[in-house]
Structure formats: C-alpha cells, structure tokens
Amino acid sequence: MNAPLDEQRRAELVASLGALRARIADACHAAGRDPHAVTLVAVTKTYPAGDVAILAGIGVLDIGENRDQEAAAKAAAVDELLTGTPAERRPRWHFIGQLQTRKCRSVATYAHAVHSLDRLELVDRLADAVTRAERAPLGVFVQLSLDGDPHRGGVLPADLAALADAVAGRPELRLRGLMAVAPLGADPDAAFADLQAASMRLRESHPDAVEISAGMSEDLEAALRHGSTHIRVGSALLGRRSPLIG
C-alpha cells in the first residue's frame, strides 16, 4: 500500500468516524440511551481491504458486507494485512446482504453474525455449514420485512415466529434478534416502531433475542429512537459509493 495515501485515507476515516460517533451520541442522548450499548457495524462493501485494516486500527472492529464473494476475499486480504495482530483487535464480519443457499457454506467460514436470515431453508443450511467449519455458534438476526414485499428481503411478519423457533432449535446458531431495512419512501420512525414491537413480541418466547439491527447512514437517528442495538453504516463513514455498484 502507498504510505502517504494510506495516511491520507486514515485521516479521512478518523474525521468521518468522529462525526459519526457524535451523531450516535446525540441520538442516544436524545433517546435517553447509553451510546456504549450501540454497536457500530461499518459497511465496507465496494471499499478495499486496506480501509478495513485502517478501521480496525482505530477501533472499529464490526464490519458489514452484503456479498459473499467480496466479503470472503476481503476477509482473507484483511487477515493478511493484520498478520500478527491479536484476535481481539481483528474484525468481526457481519453478513448483511440477501443470502443465497449456495453461499451458506462460505459465509459460515468467516462470519461472526448473519443479519439477513429470512427463510426456513437457510436455517439447516447455515447450521450444517457451521458444523462443517468446526467453529463456534454463528450469531443470527432474522430479517423482518416491514413493507410486506418479500422480494426486498425479509420474512413476512406472519412467518416470523416459526422462523425464529427454527433458528433457536439449532445449537449451531444463536438467535440474537431482528434486523430490518426501512422501506423506501416510508417514514423510518413508523417502520422502526413496528420493528421494535415485533422484537418485544419475539422476546416473549426467546428472552435472549434482545438485539435489533436497524439504521443506516440516512436513518440511524430514527432507528436509535426505536431501540436499535446495531446500526449498519456505510456511506456516512467511508464515503459515497458509486450509484452503479452500491
């Protein structure tokens, strides 16, 4: 990597991280919440492994990716860049994109958590992949559809309980909570209020599934008003992605 460019990029990321942390702190303060209880997942899709290594160096260890091919290659490249770095200062990879059944085996080799489990056929596939990878249980957020359109990802509310029960029924998986993306053009506060209500209902049968993955660059304040524990932020931290690939 070119050292001066690397320094310049590091300075950019330090600055945008500072601004983002201030936004998170303000939003938490307004909602009467502790900012330390919120996990920032930095979404690095389309950005290089070098950016992930810089983020790890400045304390951002939760990294989100939405495509397996890109994530697997980047995880390997980051491993290389961070040779000699102790495990507790290495990234945790969060898979946040639509998951295809044929990608489960790969995702289970590097992911710390999957945020986008949204149908029954993925449950056994992922659990079997965890066994095959001989690894610790994989954290799972079930993705809920908030607009009733399953083409955009997410289980329909009517099917949520059965899906959550199936995840909880596999010891290779750990049901952590729910994830959602606010519908395009909808009021994010209304959407995230629905998500929080679904999370409360889920906890009646799965008391440990307390986490909520919600909020992106444009709507993280609304998500934090409605109990989000994991915000997934890309452009506000790394910069605007090309509209063709983002």
Ligand X SMILES: *Cc1c(COP(=O)(O)O)cnc(C)c1O
Residues that bind ligand X (CB under 6 A): 43, 45, 66, 96-97, 181, 216-218, 232-236
Residue with smaller CB distance to ligand X, 78 or 220: 220
Question: Of the candidates 220, 207, 217, 206, which has an alpha carbon nearest to the alpha carbon of residue 239?
Answer: 217
Smallest distance, ligand X to C-beta of residue 46, A: 9
Our CA angle for 221, 71, 218, nearest 5°, is: 15
Shortest CB 88 distance to ligand X, Å: 25
The residue (of 50 and 153) whose beta carbon lies closer to ligand X is 153
CB of 235 to ligand X, least distance (A): 4
Placement of tokens 């519908």 in the chain: 183
CB of 194 to ligand X, least distance (A): 17
130 vs 166: CA distance, rounded Å: 15
Quick one: 90 exposed, middle or buried, by C-beta within 10 A (0-12, 13-18, 19+)?
A: middle
Q: Which is nearer to ligand X, 46 or 199 (CB)?
A: 46
Residue 166, classed as helix, strand or coil, is helix
Question: What tokens appear for 92 in the block?
Answer: 């945790």
User: 54 or 216: whose CB is closer to ligand X?
Assistant: 216
For tokens 């986008």, name the residue.
116
Name the one residue in this structure whose structure tokens are 């959550």.
Answer: 164
Is the Cβ of residue 60 or residue 216 nearer to ligand X in the bound state?
216
CB of 204 to ligand X, least distance (A): 27
